[in-house]
Structure 1
Amino acid sequence: MFDLLIKSGTIIDGTTFPRYQADIGIRNGVIEKIGRIEPSEAQKVIDATGKVVAPGHVDCHTHYDAQIHWDPYCSNSGENGVTTVVAGNCGFGFAPCRPQDRERAMLMMENTEQVPYEQMKAELPWTWESFPEWLDHLRSLPKGVNFMMYIPLNPLMVYVMGIDAAKSRSATPDELSQMKQLIREAMDAGAAGIGLSHLQDKNGHTDYDGTPMPTDTMDQQDAIELCRTLGEIGRGTIQVLSYVPGLCDMKQLAADFFDATQRPVILNVALSTAVMKECYRPLLDWVDEQWKQGRQIFVQSFVQRSWNEFNLIDLNLNDGIPEWRAISKLPTVEEKLALIADENHRATMRAKYDPTQLMTGSGAIEDIVLTASGDVPELEPLVGRRLGDIAEERGVHALDVLFDTSIATNGWANFQTTVNSGADVCEAADIMSSPFVLAGSSDGGAHSKFYCGGHWATELLCTLGRDGGFMSLEELHYHFSYQPARVMGLRDRGAVLEGMAADLLIYAIDDIDASGESYEMRFDQPQGDWRRYFVTSGYHMIIVNGEITFVDGVSNDARPGKILPDMGVLVDQMMLAAEAAE
């Protein structure tokens, strides 16, 4: 008897093979048979007539390191068909970490990825120190999605070198040796590879004291040597954020990583932005050339619509710019308001104002819309209007409108940026047409007070597929599942094939909807705290490791997720490869 039978669905298997109709028999979490299967052969039958059956989405760029502790489905990814998430990106994380460094690690994560400190303080049990202990801890958590972890280089460097040394000098030979050994231990325990950022002083993701993160200013030869460990092991993927158009171009580092390791490299980030047309083109041309030279470098894309909703109390969207960082790093509301009221500071910001420098944060200040004015009646007529239009009427700079409105509401005026990345669907399709581009970049788990992105695949099914007609569902599901699974070394996931893990979606394409234009505020975080949430709909069922987790958007509280790679499966695969080589 099969545990589960999906009957009469239209299978889009994720490999770009043409869609076809068949039944799927699942046993012990694995797709055991595809073909004709009688209902009497299964304990449970799902009628998928008229619906697509596709592999679950794989999101290679998330920051659910903390959120997985209080949210087993990594919302809003889990309800949007993402069945596997990868955390530890950009070099941020919680292991390895000595007990005396725990507080600082949470403060660092709060400022870099805007995960609220109070939420982490309430929910992280800190029962680990080493990275293998961290993975064992994650395995013990009931999960509704599969979870992968890069070993993040920031905590690794701090663990071995100490925070001051990690930010101020190269590693000694002994320190490099220690870090390489810890990477080996992490990989043996089930790490997926290495994650880091290297944007020097251009990264908006700064430490809580406003200084760059260790990996952003680390010696490049040290970074190459650490990554070389994966080449010596022969496993793992390298993720590096070293390219932001208009801000920082250090993409050559990705090529250096591959040359030293012969391991796949994921380079962030290719994006479409309203501020700089086709800003992604030089990057895609470059990666095409890298593949011609034999380098396996993939580009992580960010092509879904994105915007931010914020107030100046929680703002650090533009921390890559010193004058903006000076505001966000102040500890109290009173100090923030005093600084934005200071005419000298304003004058400096007006003089240096360049919208292209803000494109990965707030975007052009003129295009920001006031969405809530708190309890200040005289500001109510301005709600729904662009700051640029208000500024023109008043004969002032848009920055003055932003700051004056914030001061008048004691910092609680709410603003919404324009749709920046992903605004041009044609450009998004152009980016996704590259065979070397990965879909995703939800940034899930981060920026919860002003952004939400776990719905990326749901939106792209509509904008690039059903409504836009730029890509077939076969192409989209390849980019959403099989391609990222292979890049991450998951040989048993990402496709609807016999022998693959049963991570599946069942949906009717006409039911999929991600057309909203604003976020909801949901008070469902630890200690009653809130987050921004984007509402979508349309998935009939989501299945993880053969168990149904969502039915028509509602969770059934099943938690069949695993830590990947599954080390038992990996050992079996390595033994088979060794036997074949002999």
Structure 2
Amino acid sequence: MYDYILRHGKIMDGTNNPWYYSDVGIKDGRIAEISRDITESAAKVIDVSGLAVAPGFIDMHTHTELTYLVKPDDNCKISQGVTTEIGGLCALSPAPVDDITRAPIENMNNPLLGVHGLKYDWNSMAEFLDVLKKSKHVTNIGTLQGHNAIRTMAMGFEDRPPTEAELKKMMALLRESLEAGVFGFSTAGVQSPSNFADTPELLALCSVVAEYGGIYETHLRSESNAMLDAVAETLLIAKKTGVRAQVAHHKASGKINWGKLTASLRMIDESRQMGCDTGVDMYPYTYASFNLEALLPPWVRGNSTSQAIEILADKSQRPRILNDMQNGILGSGWESVYQWCGFEGIHIGAVAKQKNMSLQGKSIAQIARDRGCGSIDVVCDILCDEGFGVLMLLDFGCEEDIETALRYPFMAPVTDALTTHLHGGGNHPRIFGTFPKVLGHYARDRKLMSMEEAVRRMTSLPACRLGLKDRGLLFPGYAADITVFNPDTVIDTATLEKPKELAAGIEYVFVNGVLGYKDKQIVDLGGALLLRKGKAHRKD
């Protein structure tokens, strides 16, 4: 007897083959049978006539591994059909840590990831994965090793190349994490201390990742004026080390750079033709999400939070801060995200304090007009009041670039998102809308790709990039991660004004054979697993 039979579905199996009608039998967490008329009995039969039956969607770029520790039943990902998430991106990891680095890493990660006050009760990545294994979470979770933690363990926050001994320590720590089951390694060219690394350091670390068949995901050093140079560095690393490389949340920010994705995607494709295993992902929105302190120049942001706030509170420093934001700092390599859109295009997304909730959704420029002060005063005053961790949204791109990127066959959609902001504030709508938007808007309505191809981008493509052996395809023997959606009605409904609206058309979501979501409700947390490279581990 099967646990479930899904009857009369339109099978979109993740290969981009044309859909076909069939039944799907599920037993013991696996796909047991796919055939036109299953004769086996089942504990539960669901008629899915007219609905698409697809592999569960894989979000290969998230920041949820900590937020699920404090909010395991968050519905933002499963409600859009996601069954597997990979964290540890953009150089951010909560391990390894020791008694010296634990507090600095907590102070760096927690405001960025929306988990203020979380204490890291572990040391190694292996210990952290064991914590995840024992915790509840609504989707499967795996992680990469972020650069920041291992660099801090080896050499603190020093802005210099590592010594030979320090580099060997980083390589050893990375190897330990890969042995523990992480899927690869991530860096961030705009996040300290990862952005202090030069290319030789990254080559050495990526050579270790290549030994394990892991993936190297990078938040480029530049996503605007020097974006093509940053892509070239990533492709060089892939060529010299043989690592599988992924350009994360690819974009060309600022009007002067619109259209550059055509050139960068050509570079990536040429590298593939030369034998480099390179790929790319993106979220389908023209506005990005950062913490508000990302506006600050490095001479402010590079301090501890308390020291930085002291500088911000000193009004005599604000003209210098504004000048650096507007004009950059010659020779520093720092890229001012203010230049992407100015204060009119920067909106407050989420705050912690109830008294500031009315600021959510407003631009910095509008708040300045309301208060009768300068925009730089708004930024500094909010940070002094709230501390670091205020979410902002920035208009950076154009719709034409999104469509250019989505036409590229190796472009995987991702959310680049936390779970729901834990303070109850605003969010980027990508947190609830990314995958249904690609299916409904770009595939069905804009016809940039077939629905079957959109499913492939969300399933077998990220599974192959990550090395997930038994997920991403709707085949017998594979894990029963299954998303059932209505191809005629699936669409995102989350907006900047209402960012937590649930997507339409996501009917059923199974995680390892357990029905986790239906009728826009989470119904069971029991199916999700911790995923380690090459294997999965149940929580019991």
Shorter-chain TM-score range: 0.7 to 0.9
3-state SS of 2:127 partner: helix
CA contact (8 A) 1:458 1:513 kept: yes
3-state SS of 1:53 partner: strand
Q: Please list, as runs of the form range in 1=range in 2, the aligned pairs for 1:121-136 lying within 5 A after superposition.
A: 121=119, 124=120, 126=121, 128-136=122-130
CA contact (8 A) 1:375 1:409 kept: no
1:487 deviates by 0.6
CA contact (8 A) 1:519 1:534 kept: no
Q: How far, CA to CA, are the matches of 1:384 and 1:569 in structure 2?
A: 40
CA contact (8 A) 2:21 2:36 kept: no
The C-alpha deviation readout for 1:470-502, integer Å capped at 9, x for no partner, is 221111111111101101001211111222211
Q: Give the root-mean-square deviation of aligned CA atoms.
A: 4.0
Match of 1:439 in 2: 413
Tell me if 1:246 matches 2:225: yes
Match of 2:293 among 316, 325, 329: 316
Structure 2 residue ranges without an equivalent (≥5): none
CA contact (8 A) 2:87 2:142 kept: yes
The C-alpha deviation readout for 1:233-274, integer Å capped at 9, x for no partner, is 4x2111122241225532233233323432311123422656
Q: Please list, as runs of the form range in 1=range in 2, the aligned pairs for 1:36-435 lying within 5 A after superposition.
A: 36-38=36-38, 41-73=41-73, 75-110=75-110, 113-118=112-117, 120-121=118-119, 124=120, 126=121, 128-159=122-153, 161-164=154-157, 167-172=159-164, 174-197=165-188, 199=189, 203=190, 205=191, 212-213=192-193, 215-233=194-212, 235-242=213-220, 243-247=222-226, 249-271=229-251, 275=255, 276-306=257-287, 315-319=292-296, 321-322=297-298, 325=301, 329=305, 336=312, 339=315, 344-345=319-320, 348=323, 352=327, 363-367=341-345, 400-401=374-375, 403=377, 419-421=395-397, 423-424=398-399, 426-435=400-409
Match of 1:504 among 476, 482, 498: 482
Structure 2 CA distance for partners of 1:30 and 1:104, relative to 1, 3 Å? same
More displaced 10-residue stretch of structure 1: 463-472 or 493-502:
463-472
Q: How far, CA to CA, are the matches of 2:341 and 2:405 in structure 1?
A: 20
- Give aligned pairs, total: 520
Task: Please tell me the residue identity of whatever aligns with 2:201.
Answer: D
Match of 1:546 among 505, 508, 513: 513
Q: How far, CA to CA, are the matches of 1:50 and 1:98 in structure 2?
A: 54
**Percentage of matched positions with identical amino acids:** 22
3-state SS of 1:8 partner: strand
Q: How far, CA to CA, are the matches of 2:381 and 2:170 in structure 1?
A: 47
The structure with the largest alpha-carbon Rg is 1
CA contact (8 A) 2:9 2:21 kept: yes
Match of 1:575 in 2: none
CA contact (8 A) 1:64 1:446 kept: no
TM-score (norm 2): 0.83
1:154 deviates by 1.8
3-state SS of 1:271 partner: coil
Task: Please tell me the residue identity of whatever aligns with 2:219.
Answer: L
Q: How far, CA to CA, are the matches of 2:473 and 2:324 in structure 1?
A: 50
3-state SS of 1:443 partner: coil
1:150 deviates by 1.0
Structure 2 CA distance for partners of 1:183 and 1:328, relative to 1, 3 Å? closer
Q: Please list, as runs of the form range in 1=range in 2, the aligned pairs for 1:469-484 lying within 5 A after superposition.
A: 469-484=447-462
Structure 2 CA distance for partners of 1:328 and 1:473, relative to 1, 3 Å? farther
The C-alpha deviation readout for 1:272-313, integer Å capped at 9, x for no partner, is 6562421322211211221121111112223235366x9xxx
Q: How far, CA to CA, are the matches of 1:405 and 1:186 in structure 2?
A: 38
Match of 1:577 in 2: none
Match of 1:529 in 2: none
Match of 1:490 in 2: 468
Structure 2 CA distance for partners of 1:470 and 1:490, relative to 1, 3 Å? same
Q: How far, CA to CA, are the matches of 1:434 and 1:409 in structure 2?
A: 39
